[in-house]
Structure formats: structure tokens, C-alpha cells
Amino acid sequence: MAVAAIFDLDGTLVTFKLDIREWRKVIIDVMSKRGFDTSGLDLVTPTQEILDRAKAQVPSDATERYDSLRREAFTILDSLEIEGARSASLFPGVGEVLRRLKSTGFRLGLLTNSGRAAASLSLTRWDLQGLFELVLTRDDIDAMKPRPEGLSKAARMLGVLPHQAYYVGDSVYDVMAARAAGMKSIAVATGNYTAERLKSERADYVITALTELPKVLGV
């Protein structure tokens, strides 16, 4: 029986109006400037894969070079995301859905590839911060989605087993991360991916609006 729901942020609860390709360009540009090999990387390469490529080029006894790259790239991304968060809009019914789930005993968490600064700004702006028992951002985990580490950490912090939690997100990477973490996925077709594309990625459930979530969860 599911006892927890973990949510993505951008594209699921709010719209940041930030092109993910801009994220990737920032990291690739910083890599190139710092002398990393960027051949084969482009704006459709997953962000975490770009970072993994950079990390693989650094000897295990010289990790500061990679850590410094990551810090610089994330600092630039923070500024882009904060600007996006200021103009973000909340999807209809989000607050009501979260409060309804919480009132029926669901443990609520949030895992986002966004940085903590932008995530906190969005959650505070829309008075959602207090609804989540935990908020994990890219600043709190070793690897972003579609890698499963963040979801595994979220489950541990909530004190639930992976099969007791659903991950609710809008992208194919959310579906992939949930599957790799042993969680069921609920894909919301409110981001950059159509319902058909999300179904093709084998999401356990696909909905067209977050307001459909309580029914899927039996609430």
C-alpha cells in the first residue's frame, strides 16, 4: 500500500518557463572553458550525463577540478532559475491536491533537479513549503534524475520502502528515475512531454492534470 507521494517541481507543480537546453548549454560552455572534452555532447544530452562525462575525465585523486566545475555551473543555473521562478505560475488545484493528500495521511516529499534557491522561492511564494516533510534539490544529492539516487534518499528520509511511494513528475526522466528506484511513477502531461510519449516510457499512470491525482491514489 502506498503511503508516500514524492513530487517533481518544475512542470509538475509550477512552470518556471526555463528551457532545459539552456541548462545544458551552460554546463557544456563551462566544461569547454575549463578544458574538458565536450565532443559528442549537445543540447539533448541529459544534464546528469553531461556532468558524468566531466567527472570521468578527472582522476580520482583530483576531484576538486570537477567539484569546481559543478559549483560554477550550478551558480550560473541558480541565477537563471531564480529569474524563472519569479515569473512562474502555479498549476490549477496544486495546493488543494497537496492539502487533501496530506490530510488523509500521505507522507509528502519533493525532489527536483532545480537548485535550492529557486525551489525555496517557488514553494514560499505559493505557500507550499510547509506541506512537504522533505525537499531535496540538486544541491542535496550526488546525481540528478534520471539517476535514482535522489528518490532513494527521499524514501530513506521519509522512512518508507520504495514500493510504498509514488513519484509524480512531468518528464520521461522522472519516469526513468522512479523505475530505477523501485517506485511507481505517475506522469503528468503538463510539461514538455505528451501523454503518448510518457506512456511509451512505461509510466505506471499518466494523467493530464494534477487534479486527477487523488483519484489515482484512491483518495
Element at 120 (helix H, strand E): helix 116-125
Q: Note if the pTM is more than 0.75.
A: yes
Q: What is the pLDDT of residues 44-102, one digit of tens each?
A: 998 999 999 999 999 988 899 999 999 999 999 898 899 888 888 999 999 999 999 99
**C-alpha span between 49 and 215 (Å, rounded):** 35
Query: What length is written for the chain?
Result: 219
Answer yes or no: is pLDDT of 19 > 80: no
Higher pLDDT, 19 or 154: 154
Residue written as grid cell 567527472: 55
Answer yes or no: is pLDDT of 20 > 90: no
DSSP percent split of the chain into helix, strand, coil, nearest 5:
50, 15, 35
**Per-residue pLDDT at 70:** 93
pLDDT confidence band for 17 (50 / 70 / 90)? confident
Residues 6+ apart with CB under 8 A from 68: 34
Out of 3.40.50.1000, 3.10.20.580, 3.40.50.1110, 3.40.50.2300, select the CATH number for domain 4-16+89-216. 3.40.50.1000
Q: Distances from the Cα of 123 to the Cαs of 9, 14, 86, 164, in angstroms? A: 9, 9, 11, 25
**Per-residue pLDDT at 95:** 96
Answer yes or no: is pLDDT of 21 > 90: no
- Mean pLDDT, rounded, of the chain: 94
Kindly give the interhelix angle for 47-56 and 64-86, rounded to the nearest 10 degrees: 160
pLDDT confidence band for 132 (50 / 70 / 90)? very high
